């Protein structure tokens, strides 16, 4: 159900763009809001069409639905005709759309891993040349430059006089790159839809953008995704568009414990956590039950959460928090948590996710993106 969602903020151009592409952009937004429910998304699109005239006699909603099927964005249920579901192509398209919306200002870079200041054997050559050193591989030797050095250093008067020594060899430096293991934590507590605000949709967009960013820019990295409410559990990247809020409190401790357990199993030298939330923790697991307090910042819950932030810092796991609300009260915990971890935080309101306030507590730096 989409109870509580209102689309009155949609203001089309004076002459709305017609055709598949304009409808498709709206469809991708709506199918994210409806957690992958194609039927509900199309119903909302029909309502918007009635109100704003998105289609005309040349291209109607029926044509659009046919094109969605032909282009492989939706599949029809074989048992129940007229019931549609999104395809893996659409799932990836939603992630790419979210990436463009949120991190569109990032400059493109070649696919690879995270750069380090060290040099050594790696998987991508740089433009830098240097003298041969013991331990360099044969593949690094640049023959043209090495032969030229031999001619300059020793001369060449005849076929039998050519001499190439170790001192003539030049190699192309390989950039040492390092894999990173990332755990993406997503808050699905009930507060993500409370107070008349839809926070889960922007949270999903941020999650999908981060997942797509990691997959595109750092394909050799490990990425695990977990959600947390009363408890925490792992999901697949492909499940992100379908996320829904549950009748849960916010057990940030359970999420962090699971994230750190997953990272301990990874053998990569670099590890990090991305946490997407709307603020304060309100729940702890105690035995077979739960300790809950949603009124203010509970000392017991907050202290245990901050202890985990400090523990992550000690084992060199930075935590970057994406705060999906600009409410100063809800930001209070995130600020304290990030300072303890010496991590980073992005603060965003519900409108315009591309507008982020970035705070790096380790370097004491704050800027607007």
- Please report where in the chains the tokens 């750190």 appear, as a residue: 260
Asked if residues 327 and 279 have their Cβ atoms less than 8 Å apart, the reply is: yes
Residue 15: CB partners within 8 Å, gap ≥ 6? Answer: none
* Number of continuous H segments (helices) and E segments (strands) in the chain: 9, 14
CA dist 299 and 259 (Å) reads 23
* pLDDT tens, per residue, the chain with 369 residues: 444 555 555 555 544 456 899 899 999 989 998 999 999 999 999 999 999 899 999 999 999 999 999 999 999 876 666 689 999 999 989 988 888 777 664 444 333 445 444 433 344 555 667 787 766 777 778 888 888 888 888 776 665 677 778 788 888 766 545 688 999 999 999 988 887 788 898 889 889 988 988 888 788 889 999 999 999 999 999 999 999 999 999 999 999 999 999 999 998 889 999 999 988 899 999 999 999 999 988 999 999 999 999 999 999 999 999 888 777 777 888 899 999 999 988 887 655 555 555 555 455 555 554
- Please report where in the chains the tokens 């469809």 appear, as a residue: 27
Spell out the long-range contacts of 86-89 with Cβ–Cβ below 8 A and sequence spacing 24 or more: 86/31, 86/36, 86/38, 86/241, 88/238
Residue 265 corresponds to which tokens in the numbers above? 């199993």
The full DSSP string for 105-156 is: TSPP--S--EEEEEEEEEEEEEEEEEE--TT--GGGB-HHHHHHHHHHHH--
With 0.75 as the threshold, say if the pTM is over it. no
């Amino acid at each position: 159900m989409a109870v509580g969602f209102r689309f009155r903020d949609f203001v089309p151009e004076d002459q709305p763009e017609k055709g598949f592409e304009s409808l498709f952009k709206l469809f991708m937004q709506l199918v994210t809001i409806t957690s992958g429910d194609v039927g509900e998304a199309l119903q909302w699109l029909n309502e918007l069409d009635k109100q704003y005239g998105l289609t005309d006699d040349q291209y109607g909603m029926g044509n659009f639905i046919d094109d969605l099927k032909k282009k492989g964005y939706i599949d029809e249920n074989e048992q129940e005709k007229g019931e549609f579901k999104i395809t893996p192509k659409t799932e990836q398209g939603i992630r790419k759309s979210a990436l463009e919306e949120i991190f569109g200002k990032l400059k493109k870079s070649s696919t690879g891993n995270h750069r380090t200041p060290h040099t050594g054997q790696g998987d991508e050559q740089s433009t830098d040349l240097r003298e041969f050193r013991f331990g360099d591989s044969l593949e690094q030797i640049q023959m043209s430059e090495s032969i030229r050095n031999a001619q300059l250093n020793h001369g060449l008067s005849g076929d039998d006089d050519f001499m190439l020594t170790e001192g003539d060899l030049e190699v192309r430096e390989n950039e040492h790159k390092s894999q990173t293991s990332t755990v993406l934590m997503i808050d699905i507590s009930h507060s993500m839809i409370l107070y008349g605000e839809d926070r889960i949709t922007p949270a999903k967009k941020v999650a999908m953008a981060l997942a797509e960013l990691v997959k595109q820019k750092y394909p050799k990295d490990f990425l695990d995704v977990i959600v947390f409410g009363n408890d925490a559990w792992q999901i697949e990247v492909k499940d992100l568009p379908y996320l829904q809020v549950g009748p849960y409190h916010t057990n940030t401790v359970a999420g962090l414990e699971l994230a750190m357990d997953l990272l301990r199993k990874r053998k990569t030298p670099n590890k990090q956590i991305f946490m997407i939330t709307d603020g304060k923790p309100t729940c702890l697991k105690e035995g077979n039950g739960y300790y809950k307090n949603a009124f203010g910042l509970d000392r017991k819950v907050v202290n245990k959460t901050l202890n985990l932030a400090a523990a992550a810092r000690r084992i060199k796991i930075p935590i970057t928090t994406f705060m999906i609300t600009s409410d100063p009260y809800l930001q209070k915990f995130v600020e304290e948590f990030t300072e303890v971890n010496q991590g980073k935080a992005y603060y965003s309101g519900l409108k315009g996710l591309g507008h982020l306030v970035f705070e790096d507590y380790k370097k004491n730096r704050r800027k607007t993106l």
